[in-house]
Amino acid sequence: MDMSSGVVQDPRSLGGREVPVAELFRRWQGHRDRQAREALVRRYLPLARKLARRYRGAREPLDDLEQVASLGLVKAIDRYDPDRGIGFQHFAVPTIVGELKRYFRDCGWAVHMPRGIQELALQVAQAQRQLTAQTGREPTYNEVAEFLELSVTEVLEAAEAAGAHHAVSFDTPHDDGDGEAATLGESIGQTDERFELVDLTASLAPAVRQLSERDRHVLALRFVEDRTQSEIADQVGVSQMQVSRILGKTLERLSASVDV
């Protein structure tokens, strides 16, 4: 800093030239030159912000994610060892991403979930955003599974686990169906109209497990993803008529397994 002129010199420039990254690290690590450290932060801050945007969601403020990513950048600068022969950016990216994942694992979840499920949920959410940007529509679970090379079951489990990421206040406004204002807390204890389906679901579960993997997949595409028979036929690799027969026989077997 030039105190006589009141101008703060940019430590990235020296004699009108930009200071190389290696020189900035030498000045920081060898002489604890904080201006050099600040210059490194400014130089790589766009990288940290870019990584933060990958994890942006509807309920994660971008400002918070950028702060976490910036902290990861500072840690990377402090831990970097140029003598190892690895470029700083290659070292910084996993450090920043690790800090973002740690934030989601330790601070972003309202309900404790196993670490593996948390990371899988983040992967699924990121894949959904990427596929949406590519196709202009929300991807199906099957498309996400194919993109991540996972089973549809794993993707569904991760998507369900993502619901534990945020808690909801009992004071949250809730539509009681009669047009009157209410809160979520006031709805607790009311009779759930879907409760009668619990016994039916429990009765069907053993029969569903007896179905072949193909038949279960066809059922999931039709009744979970709401695909048409033609779409199912294209995906499974059979004719539309075969899909119709599979659905008919499968539903007959399931109907016979319960007392309706």
> Is the pLDDT confidence value at 52 over 80?
yes
Burial environment of residue 47 by CB neighbours within 10 A (0 to 12, 13 to 18, 19 or more) = middle
234-251 average pLDDT score: 88
Looking at residue 150, the DSSP 8-state letter turns out to be -
Separation CA 154–CA 120 (nearest Å): 8
pLDDT of res. 162: 62
pLDDT of res. 40: 94
CB 147 within 8 A of CB 132: no
CB 68 within 8 A of CB 125: no
For residue 60, the cross-strand partners are: 57
Q: Is the dihedral of CA 190, 196, 197, 203 positive or negative?
A: positive
Q: Up-side HSE of residue 162: CA atoms within 13 Å toward CB? A: 19
Q: How much is the mean pLDDT over the chain?
A: 75
Name the least confident of 51-60, 149-158, 181-190: 181-190
Q: Domains of the chain by range and CATH?
A: 17-106 (1.10.1740.10), 115-164 (1.10.10.10), 191-256 (1.20.140.160)
State pLDDT tens for residues 66-86: 999 999 999 999 999 888 888
Q: Is 85 helix (H, G, I), strand (E, B) or coil?
A: coil
pLDDT of res. 73: 94
* 238 compared with 106, residue with greater pLDDT: 238
Name the least confident of 115-129, 158-172, 199-213: 158-172
55-60 average pLDDT score: 64
* 12 compared with 28, residue with greater pLDDT: 28
> Is the pLDDT confidence value at 1 over 50?
no
- Identify the helix (H) or strand (E) that includes residue 12: none
* 106 compared with 22, residue with greater pLDDT: 22
CB 183 within 8 A of CB 173: yes
**CA angle 101–107–112, rounded 5-degree value:** 95
Angle of the 141-148 helix axis to the 152-161 helix axis, nearest 10: 110
- Which tokens go with 43? 């130089």
pLDDT of res. 192: 54
Separation CA 79–CA 119 (nearest Å): 24
- Which tokens go with 209? 């497990």
> Is the pLDDT confidence value at 113 over 50?
yes
Percent of the chain with pLDDT over 70: 67
CB 33 within 8 A of CB 27: yes
pLDDT of res. 173: 56
> Is the pLDDT confidence value at 222 over 90?
no
Q: Is 2 helix (H, G, I), strand (E, B) or coil?
A: strand
> Is the pLDDT confidence value at 28 over 60?
yes
pLDDT of res. 48: 94
Strand runs labelled E in 75-184: 173-175, 181-183
CB 11 within 8 A of CB 33: yes
CB 125 within 8 A of CB 162: yes
